[in-house]
Chains A and B, each alone.
Chain A
Amino acid sequence: MDTFASYHPAALLGYFMAVLLPAMFSANPALHLLVLLGGLAFWALLVPGRTFAGDLAFYTLLSLMIAVTNPLFSHNGVTPLFFLNGNPVTLEAVWYGVDMAVMLVAVLYWCKCFHRVMSDDKLLFLLAGTASSLSLLISSAIRFVPELKERIARVHQAQKAMGLYSSGSYVDRLLGGLRVFSAVLSWSLECAVETGQAMKGRGYGLKGRSHYALFRLRPRDGWFAAVTLCMAAAVVTVMARGALTHDFYPKMTGLSAAPEALLGYAAYGVLAALPFLLEAAGRCRWHLLLRRCARQDTGGEPGKDGVRWTY
């Protein structure tokens, strides 16, 4: 089930920017925490539980290390805990480290989500809208690299089975590798000529190239974009009015609990949780459907077994 991933690529790209940029340009730990929780919750739906747990352990350790490292290098802050080699280790620096870690881990998790949600199809689709030849170039490069690797492996295997270039010193092997590589390169160039002809044969280079729309804008994309936009606008406005500023050094300002700030947090919370909510809602709807169908199946015609409803 990919409820979230099935939105239009442009809407998705907009969303990812809307959710990451405010967190990255603000030093407010509440925003960082919200974005981390949103990312974590969504990621938890995307991967199996065991993978998620393993990942989480890794990132927890990583963030601990960042949190510990920061106060060793930054000695600003009004609350010294103890002195290390004559330099103060301060409470502020520790919190700042924690915040940095939260922020970093959040960005990493969102990158994972981005990678999972934005398949190369979607990225190329977006690119084709703006730079179609670049998008084509990337597309053929994606094809070319594994092909080159495979060719090298094949030539290498052939040479090995003749007892060439596989034994002897490192220098021999290196030279052999170079030879294989250059042979494969000229082989690939040979193939590239054919590919070029095939491109021409299918009309590449004619004026007025269009591109195939693998994705269509649907009403739900509009709704999604509207919600994203509203929430992002609210957060940015609140931020711009200075209601969400926060400082660690030299002395931590407490998190503001003014109504305006709370509004900002709420908007950002909704924004960050959006993928999770959409994905979870999609799954719930799915389960309900299944249950209803199961009821109809058993209640309706008990004689016929098998699946009447196919999805």
Chain B
Amino acid sequence: MDVLELEHVSFAYPGGQQALEDISLQIRQGEFLVVCGQSGCGKTTLLKMLKPELTPHGQRQGVIRFAGQPLEALPPRVSAGEIGFVGQNPNTQTLTHKVWHELAFGLESLGCPSDVMRRQVAETASFFGMQTWFRREVKELSGGQKQLLQLASVLVMRPRVLILDEPTAQLGPIAASEFLASVYKLNRELGLTVILTEHRLEEVFPMADRVLMLDHGRKLLLEAPAEAGRRLRSTAPDHPMLAALPSAVRIYQELDTADVCPLTVKEGKEFLSRHFLPYGEPEAPAQSITDERPVILEAKEAWFRYQRDLPDVLRGVSLQVRQGEIFAILGGNGSGKTTLLHLLAGPREPYRGKVLVEGQKTRSFAKGSLYRRRLALLPQDPQTVFLKKTVREDLREITRLMGTPESELEAMAEKLGIHGLLDRHPYDLSGGEQQKAALAKVLLLQPRILLLDEPTKGIDPGAKEQLARILLELQQEGLTTVLVTHDVEFAALSASRCALFFDGEVVSQDAPAAFFAQNHFYTTAASRMARHLYPQAVTCHQVSQLCRSHPKKREEATA
């Protein structure tokens, strides 16, 4: 039975901008549908059109039916209760300040009688294991808990369809996995219909029954995931969407085998074993080549805590960053990475030990001079960087401050590919665009050291690759970059040195290949998939290259 039915649906925003074109689609009861595509491909618009309350203003053509009934004719009570929607940012979706009230909100709106409400709230809270924080304040919860609460407070109304718009964009990898696992559980155990968009396809791809891929508002393909992986290779081998696919699919894409497309690490591992020979690289001698480049940023036994009676966040961190490096500090959420970055950037100081920028204590710089042509920090939330009405005004503020000509601004915009965005309001940009614009603003300060806090948060894989490219270009120009991230793939792609930060200390640091090869869990999916064959390969590209040069003979493969 079809829960949702779209017939030749098109949509254009009032400005005339075409967001969707001729989408036809039937979604079966109990189906798990993943909608993917680049930023701006219309996937969020599509999702919002399925929930009448959120449908944006604009010109719509075609028919959308919910359980056989056109959406326009759906009574508001039904559309509020039976079509559940969870958006990106748990903070903006939270309506009240207590967990219990958040859960009850939807049922209160529907005018549920007290005992029914009690039962449904109790049941839902139990299902999600919320008993222990049922009476807590929402602001005390972690990001993952907040998003789980959003999910629960939609499910408490017992919807027939659950629509999720990039629900893990603001979460760390662990919380994101947990969240997606909950969604998957709902789909499997309750037969709940799920429609989900996501940037990180690594995990959701294998969960999906079908994948809908959109490209500039059009349906590119709608297939089962394995089939989608195979089809994409044949129809659009250079499509930018490839970057977003799970590592197993990407490696499959780059190789020419007539096999089923693997989806998970496990399947990928089997797939590689089936078709390729191991290549025992001669164990590279421990890289003790002394780096001759001068140390530009250094922490010596730095200890830090926020208040006298709070525990230490940093316990004697020592690290050296050399000129021209891209130094990635990896670590879980709440491990103190951001604090470390703030220490390196100057706004905070260690209570013991020291931080030296170009051999000088951060404190000893005259007011503001630390941030002129020396060091710049791009915070986690790029929105916090903008204060003006257009990107151009924001950038101009810096050129004026630095006394550089306007042409500098144009050049920077050109370099980062944001020329078309200069006259837009910063808040209207997508996550990736915002990130680039913020980077432009920070780079106009002409820093020699750039500090990035979680630069890949909430941006799509295409933008991620672009960012990595930009960083490598800047490295060529002599910029030193320090970034903290929990994005293993991004670090593998961009860093020249990686460090693992845990329990207030830098635990290990090494070149990416060696770093990830030694890690067992904390490494890229490609490395986990291929380590039994190619222990030094870290990125999908490296794996596929090694594969190509070490194929099994045909008879061996078939045997």
Our pick among B98, B100, B117, B384 for the contact of A155 (Cβ within 8 Å) is B384
With A154-B379, A161-B376, A203-B106 already in contact, the answer to whether A198 and B347 are too (CB < 8 A) is: no
Our pick among B81, B100, B345, B347 for the contact of A203 (Cβ within 8 Å) is B81
Report B539 CB to chain A, min CB distance, Å: 31
Complexed CA–CA distance, A212 and B110 (Å): 11
With A183-B387, A195-B95 already in contact, the answer to whether A200 and B53 are too (CB < 8 A) is: yes
The reply to whether B93 and A195 contact each other, CB–CB distance below 8 Å, is: yes
With A163-B370, A163-B445, A203-B81 already in contact, the answer to whether A210 and B385 are too (CB < 8 A) is: no
The reply to whether A159 and B387 contact each other, CB–CB distance below 8 Å, is: yes
Residue-wise, chain A 173-195 has the 8 Å CB interface mask toward B (1 for contact) of: 00000011001001100111011
Complexed CA–CA distance, A143 and B111 (Å): 24
Give the size range of A's interface with the partner. 35 or more
With A203-B106, A204-B109 already in contact, the answer to whether A212 and B100 are too (CB < 8 A) is: yes
Complexed CA–CA distance, A202 and B150 (Å): 11
Is A142's CB within 8 Å of the partner chain B? yes
Query: Which residues 190-222 of A sit at the B interface, judged by CB distance below 8 A?
Result: 190-192, 194-195, 197-214
Of B83-91, B251-259, B274-282, the one with at least 4 CB within 8 A of chain A: B83-91
Contact partners of B112 in chain A: CB under 8 A: 210
Q: Which residue of B lies closest to A160 (CB)?
A: B347
With A204-B109, A211-B108 already in contact, the answer to whether A163 and B93 are too (CB < 8 A) is: no
Complexed CA–CA distance, A129 and B87 (Å): 31
The reply to whether A206 and B110 contact each other, CB–CB distance below 8 Å, is: yes
Q: Which residue of A lies closest to B451 (CB)?
A: A161
Query: Which residues 134-164 of A sit at the B interface, judged by CB distance below 8 A?
Result: 136, 139-140, 142-143, 146-147, 151, 154-155, 157-164
Contact partners of B379 in chain A: CB under 8 A: 154, 157-158, 161
Complexed CA–CA distance, A187 and B368 (Å): 26
The reply to whether B92 and A206 contact each other, CB–CB distance below 8 Å, is: no
Contact partners of B97 in chain A: CB under 8 A: 120, 139-140, 142-143
The reply to whether A198 and B387 contact each other, CB–CB distance below 8 Å, is: no
Q: What total of chain B residues lie within 8 Å of the partner, measured CB to CB? A: 66
Complexed CA–CA distance, A172 and B121 (Å): 52
Q: Which residue of B lies closest to A214 (CB)?
A: B100
Q: Which residue of A lies closest to B388 (CB)?
A: A183
The reply to whether B401 and A194 contact each other, CB–CB distance below 8 Å, is: no
Complexed CA–CA distance, A120 and B101 (Å): 12
Contact partners of A166 in chain B: CB under 8 A: 368
With A140-B95, A207-B111 already in contact, the answer to whether A163 and B381 are too (CB < 8 A) is: no
The reply to whether A136 and B96 contact each other, CB–CB distance below 8 Å, is: yes
Interface centre among A121, A186, A194, A201 (most CB of B within 10 A): A201
The reply to whether B77 and A206 contact each other, CB–CB distance below 8 Å, is: yes
The reply to whether A203 and B80 contact each other, CB–CB distance below 8 Å, is: yes
Report B301 CB to chain A, min CB distance, Å: 23
Contact partners of A198 in chain B: CB under 8 A: 87, 92-93, 95
Is A167's CB within 8 Å of the partner chain B? yes
Complexed CA–CA distance, A197 and B384 (Å): 23
Complexed CA–CA distance, A195 and B102 (Å): 13
Contact partners of B121 in chain A: CB under 8 A: 212
Q: Which residue of A lies closest to B371 (CB)?
A: A163
Is B243's CB within 8 Å of the partner chain A? no
Contact partners of B80 in chain A: CB under 8 A: 201-203, 206
Complexed CA–CA distance, A203 and B108 (Å): 9
Report B112 CB to chain A, min CB distance, Å: 6
Is B377's CB within 8 Å of the partner chain A? yes
With A136-B96, A161-B377, A212-B108 already in contact, the answer to whether A203 and B114 are too (CB < 8 A) is: no
Complexed CA–CA distance, A205 and B80 (Å): 10
Interface centre among B81, B105, B106, B111 (most CB of A within 10 A): B105
Is B185's CB within 8 Å of the partner chain A? no
Contact partners of A139 in chain B: CB under 8 A: 96-98, 101
New A-B pairs, 14, CB < 8 Å, besides A154-B381, A214-B100: A121-B100, A140-B96, A143-B138, A161-B379, A162-B385, A162-B445, A163-B371, A167-B367, A194-B87, A198-B93, A201-B80, A205-B109, A210-B107, A212-B118
List 18 A-B residue pairs with CB atoms under 8 Å apart, sorted by A's residue number. A139-B98, A146-B139, A154-B384, A158-B381, A159-B384, A161-B379, A162-B445, A167-B368, A186-B427, A187-B427, A190-B427, A195-B94, A198-B93, A202-B95, A203-B81, A203-B110, A206-B80, A210-B117
Question: Nearest 5 A-B pairs (CB), nearest first?
Answer: A163-B371, A203-B80, A203-B109, A212-B104, A208-B111
